[in-house]
């Protein structure tokens, strides 16, 4: 592995930065998107049963939505907008992962082009043969940067897909809760008339 990074030359640094950023964001999002932080089982069970918790808390996404419902006189659209805001906050850092997925292979491609330029610039017009050491170094740069760039982008893309799917599931579950809150609001509005 160390040899591969050495062969990547100057391109190893931006590729290492892409890798470190991706690992950090993925780990942080996996930790933040645990079900206990988004919609604990207690909330989910009550929403599925058609009930609404009596009060919310600020430690979970579902709790913040319920607390917003009880602390403000909101209509259905305001509650849905607040829920969308909470869901968009769960996607924090995804744009960074999208940048890594795009940038890592492009940096690898830049290394490939640089390596090939290095190889072809060593070809002498007289003999037509490149210097063997320069040829090997150029090909190693070309292949290693491409391989490292793809090795960073592919797992990052898989993790981004997994996290996106996880948020979609949470959004559907929170949508059930929002509908329960809207139904509760409708019942209380009819009673107050």
Indicate the angle between helix axes 61-71 and 132-192, nearest 10 degrees.
30
Which distant-in-sequence residues (6+ apart) come within 8 Å of 31 by Cβ?
Answer: none
Averaged pLDDT for residues 113-120: 80
pLDDT higher than 70, residue 6: no
In the chain, how many domains are there? 1
The per-residue pLDDT for 67 is 87
DSSP assignment of 124-181, as one string?
-TTT----HHHHHHHHHHHHHHHHHHHHHHHHHHHHHHHHHHHHHHHHHHHHHHHHHH
Q: What percent of the chain has pLDDT over 70?
A: 88
Averaged pLDDT for residues 34-61: 83
Report the C-alpha gap between 77 and 97 in whole angstroms: 31
Averaged pLDDT for residues 124-147: 75
pLDDT higher than 80, residue 190: no
| Contact predicate 102/110, CB 8 Å | no
Report the C-alpha gap between 159 and 29 in whole angstroms: 10
Q: Select the highest-mean-pLDDT range: 41-55, 112-126, 152-166.
A: 152-166
Domain containing 101 equals 2-192
CB neighbourhood size of 113 (10 A) = 13
Q: What is the separation, in whole angstroms, between the first and last Cα of the chain?
A: 72
The per-residue pLDDT for 3 is 64
pTM of structure: 0.82
Q: What confidence tier does 46 reach under pLDDT thresholds 50, 70, 90?
A: confident
pLDDT higher than 90, residue 18: yes
Averaged pLDDT for residues 130-140: 75
Rounded (5°) CA angle 166-170-176: 150
Q: Which of 55-64, 123-132, 142-151 has the lowest mean pLDDT?
A: 123-132
Q: Give tens-digit pLDDT for 51-108.
A: 777 777 788 899 898 888 888 788 889 989 999 999 999 999 999 999 999 999 999 8
Q: What confidence tier does 187 reach under pLDDT thresholds 50, 70, 90?
A: low
Tokens of 124: 């002498």
The per-residue pLDDT for 104 is 94
Average pLDDT over the chain, rounded to an integer:
85
Report the C-alpha gap between 108 and 155 in whole angstroms: 15
Q: What single DSSP character describes residue 92?
A: T
The per-residue pLDDT for 8 is 65
């Amino acid at each position: 592995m160390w040899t591969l990074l050495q062969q990547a030359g100057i391109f190893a640094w931006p590729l290492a930065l892409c890798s470190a950023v991706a690992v950090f964001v993925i780990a942080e999002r996996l930790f933040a998107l645990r079900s206990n932080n988004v919609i604990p089982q207690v909330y989910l069970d009550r929403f599925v049963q058609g009930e609404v918790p009596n009060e919310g808390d600020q430690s979970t996404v579902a709790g913040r939505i319920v607390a917003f419902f009880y602390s403000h006189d909101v209509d259905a659209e305001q509650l849905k907008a607040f829920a969308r805001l909470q869901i968009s906050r769960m996607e924090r850092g995804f744009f960074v992962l999208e940048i890594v997925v795009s940038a890592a292979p492009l940096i690898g491609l830049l290394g490939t082009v640089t390596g090939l330029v290095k190889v072809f610039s060593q070809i002498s017009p007289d003999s037509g043969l490149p210097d063997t050491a320069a040829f090997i170094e150029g090909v190693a740069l070309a292949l290693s940067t491409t391989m490292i760039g793809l090795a960073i982008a592919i797992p990052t893309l898989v993790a981004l897909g997994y996290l996106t799917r996880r948020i979609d599931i949470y959004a559907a579950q929170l949508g059930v809760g929002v509908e329960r809150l809207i139904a509760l609001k409708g019942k209380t509005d009819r009673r107050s008339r």
